[in-house]
Structure 1
Amino acid sequence: MAFGKKNTRQRDETQSTEWEQSQNQASNEDFIDLEVETQPLENTSEENHSQIHKKPLLDEVTMVEAQKGKNAGGTKRWKCNHYKKSYSSSYTRIHHHFFGAPVGVKAEIARYTVILTNRTLLQQLKKKVEEAEKTGISPSLTKSTVNNKLTGISNNPIEKAFGAIERHDVDIGIVRFLCANGIPFNVLRSPEMALMTNAIKNAPKDYKHPSADRARTSLLDDCKRVIEKECVPISDTWTMQGTSIISDGWTNIKKKSLINVFASNSRGSMFLYAEDFSDVEKTRKEISNFLLKAIDEVGSSNHLQVITDNAENCKAAGKEIEKVHKHIFWSPCVVHTLNLIFKDFAVVFPWINDTYIRGKNIVKYFINHSHAHSIFRNHSGLQLLKVAKTRFGSHHMLLKRLTQCREALVTTVFVRAWKDWLNSGDERTKELGREVTTAIKDEVFWDEIDNILAITKPIYRMIKFADGEG
C-alpha cells in the first residue's frame, strides 16, 4: 500500500507539471500573437515568425511589456513608433489608433492624427492592411475599418477630418477632367454642378456614367422634356401677366448665323427656339416673318412687346409687327442703346476719340509684339484687354485696365530691355514704339483717361445691370 501511494503521488506530480507547462506555453503563445519586438527575430521559430506577419500594423509599434495579471489575454503594453506614446491594449486598439474606430463605436484610444495629412504614410498602411485582409488568415482583420464601409454619420471632428484626403482625391479628379477637356473653371460656379454632384452621390454603388452616344440622343431628349416640364410654371403666367418676345442674332462655334427667341416676364425668361439664317438675307421682311411666327405659336394675345437691337432692319421689322398686331409694340434693346452712347460721345467730343485711339494703339502694340508683351508681363500681374465687338462697354473696360496697369507700363518703357528691343527692331517697329513710349509718359493722356472713365462710369454700371438676368 505504501508503494502504491508513492506511485500515485509521483503520477499526480507528473500530471501537475505537465499542466503547468501547457499553461505557460499557452500564455507564451498569446503574448507572441501580439508582440513583435520583445525578442529578436533570430530567436523566434519559423511558425511564430509567420504568425507575426499576419498582423501588419505590429510593424508600426514597439512592444514594451505584457500586462500584469492573472488574465492578461491579448492586452499588451506597446509604444507607437510614430506617435511616441505608450498604450495598453489589444490589436484592435492598434488598428483604431491608426485608422480610427468604426462609426457608432466609441474610440478607446487616441487617434494618430498626423496620418490624416500624411498621404504617403496613409497609403502605405492601407495597402499593407488590405493585402493582409485579402489572405483571410487573420481573424482580427475581418472587422477592419479600411475595407468595410460602415453606415452612419459621425459627429466626431477627427472622423470628419479623416475624409479630407479622400475628398482631395475627388477634387483632383474633377480638376484633371476639366483640364484634359478644355472646360473653363467657371463651370464649377454653375448651380447645375451642385445638382450633378448630389445626383452622383446618391447613385447606386455600381453606377457608371452614360456613353457619349446615349448622352447625345435619348438622354438629351429626356433632359429636354424634364426642362420643359420645369418651365411650365413660367409659361402658365403668360396668360395673366403677359410676356415679351426677345430676339437676338449670334454666331455659334460652327460659324452659323442664328437668331434666337426668348419669352420673358416678371417670373423669368424662357428660351423658345433658334433658327439658322446662314443662307438667308436678314431683311426687314425675313425678320418680321420670323418674329410673327413666334408670336403666333405662343399666342398673340399673351404678348405685349417685341425687343430687338437697334439695327435698321430690326427696327423696320418691329414696325411691320406693330401693323399686324396693334396691341404689340416694338422696343429697342436698352443695353444696345446704352452702348451706342459711347460711340456718340466719340463723335460729339473729338478729344475722347483721340484718347481712346491712343489707348487702343498701346494695347495693340504690346499684344502684337510678343517680346514687348513679355517685358510688360515681367512687371505686371494683370493682362491688357482687347476690344471685343460683341462685348458691350468694351471701350470703358479697355481704358480702365490701362489705368490699372499704368505703373507697370511706365516701368516697362524705362527698363534697359525695352530700349534694347526698340533699337534692334525695324523702322516701323521703332516708330510705333516711340509713339507708345510718348503716350505712356504723357501725364495729360492719363488725366484724359480719368475724365472719360468718370463720365462713362454711370452708363457702364447701367449696362452691367441691364445685361444680366432680370
Structure 2
Amino acid sequence: KESLDVIKVLTSKVRWITLLQRLTLKQLWVARNVSRVSIAIWKEKSQAVHQYCARWIYNSSIAFNAIDNDDFRLFCEALGQFGPGWQPPSQYQLREPLLNEEKKRTKEKLKHLEEEWETDGCSVMTDACTDMKRRSIMNLCVNSRGGTCFLGSKDSSKDSHTGEYIFEYIDKCIEEAGPLKVVQVVTDNATNNVAAAKLLKMKRPNIFWSGCAAHTVDLMLEGISKLPGIAKLIDQAKCLTIFIYAHHKTLDLMRSHTQKRDIVRPGATRFATCFLTLHSLYEKKALLKNMFGSDDWHECVHSKSVKGKASYETVMNIGFWSSMTLVLKIFSPLVKVLRLADGEKIPSLGFIYGEILVAKNSIKEATYQMERNYEPIIKIIDEKMKGRLDAP
C-alpha cells in the first residue's frame, strides 16, 4: 500500500513538472515572437527617423560630414532621453538667448585656455585668404595644448601686405595675448612673412618664428618641377591632359577606355595635384596607348589636328614614360612628407625634419647615386629648408 502511495505521489509530481515544462516552452515561444515583432517595429521606426533626418539634411543643403559632428550626436542623445513632445527652438531663440548662452560658454572655455597659456605657453598662427566677396582677410589664431581658438580677423583689401604691415598686425596680437605667454609665431613661407619674421626677431628675440611645414615642402616641389628635364615632362603631360579634356569626343573616348576614370586628380596643393596627375597617367599607360591606337581615335576628327598628333606622339613615346618613372620616384618621397605635414594628425617638426632626410636619401637612390643628377634637387631642398625647417 505504501508503495502504491509513493508511486501516485511520484506520478503526480512528474505530471506537474511536465506541465511546467510545457508552460515554460510556450512562454519562451511567445517571448521569442514578441521579440521578433519588437525588432521589426524598432527597425521600421528607426528607418522612418533616418528618412526624416536625411530629408532635412537634403532640403537644408547641409554637408554630409555634419552627421559625424559630436555636438549633433549629443543632441540626438538628449532628444532620445527627453522623449516625445519636444518642440524645436524658434528662430528668435536661436538668434538671441541661445546664441548668447553659447557665447558665454565659449568665453568660459577661452578662460581655461588663457590659464593654460600662462603655464604652458602658446603659439600665434596667422594666415590670409580671399572670401566669396573677393576681400583679402587676415586671420589670427592661438594654439596651445588645449586646442586652437580664433583670436580675430581683419579686412586688409586696401592695404599692401608688406613685411612691416604683417609684423605690426602680429605684434599687436602678441601684446593682446601676453608677450610672456607666446612661444612662437607660425606663418606660411611667403616672402613678406619671412620679412616680418626678421622684424619680429629684432624686437622679440625670445619668440621663435616657424614656417608652415606643408608650405615649405610644397615650395620644394615647386622648385624641383622647374628643373629643365622635369619641367619638360610636366609640360608634355599638361598638353596631353588639356587636349583630352578640351573636346567632348576625346574625353568620352578616354573615359570609355579607362572605365570612366579620370586622369586628372586634384590634390591639397597645386604641385600635389601635378604629382597625382602624373601618377594617374602612369597607372593608365596601357589604357591610353590602347586609346590612341584604336580605330575610334583614327576616325576622330581631332586626331588630324596638330595637338592631336602631338598627343599621339607623346603617349607612344617610350622616353616619355621612362622619364615619368624617374620623376615619380623623385617626387614620391617629398609628397609622402607633404601628406604627413598636411594631414589631420600633424607630427612634430623634428619628425618632419627626419622624414625629409629620409626623402633626400630616397632621391639619391632614385638617381642611382649620381651626384650630377641629384645635386640640383638636394640643393633646392636645402635652400627651402634653410631658416624654415632646420631651426626651432
TM-score (norm. length: structure 2): 0.70
CA distance in 2, matches of 1:213, 1:447: 65
Q: Percent identity?
A: 23
CA distance in 2, matches of 1:392, 1:236: 41
Which of these residues, 241, 256, 271, is aligned with residue 363 of structure 1? 241
Q: 1:372 aligned to 2:224?
A: no
1:152-167 to structure 2, matched below 5 A, reads 156=35, 159-167=38-46
The secondary structure found in structure 2 opposite 1:238 is helix
The secondary structure found in structure 2 opposite 1:165 is helix
CA distance in 2, matches of 1:220, 1:391: 39
Write the letter of the residue equivalent to 1:361. Answer: C
1:338-417 to structure 2, matched below 5 A, reads 338-347=217-226, 349-378=227-256, 379-385=258-264, 390=269, 393-417=272-296
The secondary structure found in structure 1 opposite 2:175 is helix
1:194-343 to structure 2, matched below 5 A, reads 194-211=73-90, 214-215=93-94, 218-343=97-222
CA distance in 2, matches of 1:166, 1:411: 53
Q: 1:468 aligned to 2:340?
A: no
Unmatched 5+ stretches in structure 1: 1-104, 113-155
Which string of whole-angstrom CA distances, capped at 9 and with x for unpartnered residues, describes residues 252-299 of structure 1? Answer: 233322111121234433322222222222122221121112111111
The secondary structure found in structure 1 opposite 2:259 is coil
Deviation, 1:181, is: 4.2
Query: Which structure carries more helix by proportion?
Result: 2
Q: 1:454 aligned to 2:332?
A: no
Deviation, 1:339, is: 0.6
CA distance in 2, matches of 1:397, 1:380: 18
Deviation, 1:229, is: 3.3
Which string of whole-angstrom CA distances, capped at 9 and with x for unpartnered residues, describes residues 27-49 of structure 1? Answer: xxxxxxxxxxxxxxxxxxxxxxx
Question: Radius of gyration: which is bigger?
Answer: 1
Q: Which residue of 2 aligns with 1:108?
A: 30
Q: Is the Cα–Cα contact under 8 Å of residues 336 and 392 in structure 1 kept in the other structure?
A: no
Q: Is the Cα–Cα contact under 8 Å of residues 218 and 269 in structure 2 kept in the other structure?
A: no
CA distance in 1, matches of 2:266, 2:218: 13
Write the letter of the residue equivalent to 2:116. Answer: T
Q: Is the Cα–Cα contact under 8 Å of residues 214 and 341 in structure 2 kept in the other structure?
A: yes
Q: Is the Cα–Cα contact under 8 Å of residues 382 and 405 in structure 1 kept in the other structure?
A: no
CA distance in 1, matches of 2:61, 2:312: 37
The secondary structure found in structure 2 opposite 1:335 is helix
Q: Is the Cα–Cα contact under 8 Å of residues 248 and 309 in structure 1 kept in the other structure?
A: yes
The secondary structure found in structure 2 opposite 1:305 is strand
Write the letter of the residue equivalent to 1:344. Answer: G
Deviates more, 1:411-420 or 1:213-222: 213-222
Q: Which residue of 2 aligns with 1:443?
A: 318
TM-score (norm. length: structure 1): 0.60
CA distance in 2, matches of 1:281, 1:388: 30
CA distance in 2, matches of 1:401, 1:206: 55
Report 1 or 2 for greater relative contact order, CA contacts < 8 Å, sequence distance ≥ 6. Answer: 2
Q: 1:466/1:107 Cα in 2 relative to 1: closer, same or farther (>3 Å)?
A: same
Q: Is the Cα–Cα contact under 8 Å of residues 335 and 392 in structure 1 kept in the other structure?
A: no
Give me the CA root mean square deviation: 3.1
Q: 1:466/1:351 Cα in 2 relative to 1: closer, same or farther (>3 Å)?
A: same
CA distance in 1, matches of 2:129, 2:299: 45
Q: 1:432 aligned to 2:307?
A: yes
The secondary structure found in structure 2 opposite 1:382 is coil
CA distance in 2, matches of 1:213, 1:439: 63
Which of these residues, 420, 425, 431, is aligned with residue 299 of structure 2? 420
Q: Is the Cα–Cα contact under 8 Å of residues 303 and 309 in structure 2 kept in the other structure?
A: no
Q: 1:296/1:160 Cα in 2 relative to 1: closer, same or farther (>3 Å)?
A: farther
Which string of whole-angstrom CA distances, capped at 9 and with x for unpartnered residues, describes residues 131-169 of structure 1? Answer: xxxxxxxxxxxxxxxxxxxxxxxxx57633542233233
Deviation, 1:221, is: 4.2
Q: Which residue of 2 aligns with 1:150?
A: none
Q: 1:388/1:109 Cα in 2 relative to 1: closer, same or farther (>3 Å)?
A: closer
Which string of whole-angstrom CA distances, capped at 9 and with x for unpartnered residues, describes residues 34-82 of structure 1? Answer: xxxxxxxxxxxxxxxxxxxxxxxxxxxxxxxxxxxxxxxxxxxxxxxxx
Deviation, 1:340, is: 0.6
CA distance in 2, matches of 1:225, 1:448: 60
